Amino acid sequence: MDMKTITVGYGDVTKVQIGPGLPLAFLGGPCAIESRDHAFKMAEAIAEITQRVGVPWIYKSCYDKDCRSSPDSFHGLGMDEGLQILADVRKEFGVPVVSDFSDPSWGPATGEVCDLVQIPAYLCRQTSILRAAALTGRPVHIKKGQFMSPWNMKNSVRKLESFGCHDIMLADRGTFLGYNMLVNDMTSFPIMARTGYPVCFDATHSIQMPTSMGDISGGQREFIPYLVRAAVACGINALFMETHDDPDNALSDANTVLDIKYLENVLRQAKIMHQARLDILAEFGEDNIHPNG
């Protein structure tokens, strides 16, 4: 099967290509845009780290967190202020930016600024939001719903294609194992890759324990490096991790974001593992064990 490469970035930013045989791309930033100062502070820190490690980077942060457990949780700065900050980060650092959006009416404005538009996992089947994402004309990053099988994501891909979008990336961010618990099925990567599009691992949401703490989600962030190494070995094209300089006081996903002090370590491991996989495939050939023996 021919695997597609997608290019993220318009205008003057450093374009990031994501696809087979290419360097592992990194999507990262604070879960939510907390303030202009914080967004810039995080962007500056991540820019330095990704430059040192040599990882292509897309800045991720959201302007409206519409799936928080509690009405009292921080919802975000809102579309106008949030997108303006993203546009300014994009301009200042020359980095492509990605945000998700949770309402079809937010699509045009999101696509106006963002180089990559993201479909939240809970909404990955929603035709109206898939249509809105496709109509932005930007590449679309769609997360597999925690309730979805990896093979059923083909339906969402077909929807996006039917609306004219052919630059797609699919992410695994965990699958529900009963209540309040997620697991990662590593076969999801080769299965979703059979759509022909690049695949991504969302490490920090995968270790989430959804709404396990009553009105907020918990998480087991100590497992991030284990899962990252496993996912990279399974052939992901991009790695997604939310990161924060002060996780305990993060306004969103405080129990799952990766403390930025660990980011360089994890990215270096991921980069080495990615290259090792490419070397293994070069020596032993593509994985080709036939299901029927």
Partner 1 sequence: MQDSPRNLRVKDVALPLDRCPVLAPNAFFKTALEAMGRSRLGIVCVVDADGMLRGIVTDGDIRRQLLKMQKPFSAFFGDDVIEHAIPHPTTVGPDMPLLDAVNLMEEKQVWDLPVVDADGKLVGLLHLHPIVKLLVSQQD
φ/ψ (deg, to 5) at 16: -115, 120
Buried b (16+ CB within 10 A) or exposed e, 241-250: bbbbbebeeb
Which of 61/175 has CB closer to partner 1? Answer: 175
Q: Which helix (H) or strand (E) holds 228?
A: helix 224-233
Strand partners, 259: 244
Q: Among the candidate windows 62-70, 150-158, 232-240, 243-251, which touches partner 1 by CB under 8 A?
A: 150-158
In the complex, what is the shortest distance from the CB of residue 191 to partner 1, in angstroms, rounded to a whole number?
8
DSSP 15-37: -EEESTTSPPEEEEE-SB---HH
Q: Does 191 bind partner 1 (CB under 8 A)?
A: yes
Whole-angstrom Cα distance, residue 178 to residue 238?
28
Whole-angstrom Cα distance, residue 30 to residue 25?
17
- Lookup: tokens for 229: 């190494």
Helices 36-53 and 263-284 meet at what angle, rounded to 10?
40
In the complex, what is the shortest distance from the CB of residue 185 to partner 1, in angstroms, rounded to a whole number?
12
Q: Does 162 bind partner 1 (CB under 8 A)?
A: no
Which of 249/288 has CB closer to partner 1? Answer: 288
Q: Does 151 bind partner 1 (CB under 8 A)?
A: yes
Which of 50/188 has CB closer to partner 1? Answer: 188
In the complex, what is the shortest distance from the CB of residue 156 to partner 1, in angstroms, rounded to a whole number?
12
Contact code string over 105-144 relative to partner 1, x by CB under 8 A = ----------------------------------------
Whole-angstrom Cα distance, residue 174 to residue 63?
23
DSSP state of 260: G
Q: Which of 14, 128, 149, 265 binds partner 1 (CB under 8 A)?
A: 149
In the complex, what is the shortest distance from the CB of residue 180 to partner 1, in angstroms, rounded to a whole number?
24
Which of 151/226 has CB closer to partner 1? Answer: 151
Which of 285/290 has CB closer to partner 1? Answer: 290
Q: Does 147 bind partner 1 (CB under 8 A)?
A: no
φ/ψ (deg, to 5) at 242: -85, 140
Per CB under 8 A, residues contacting partner 1 are: 149, 151-152, 154-155, 191, 291-293
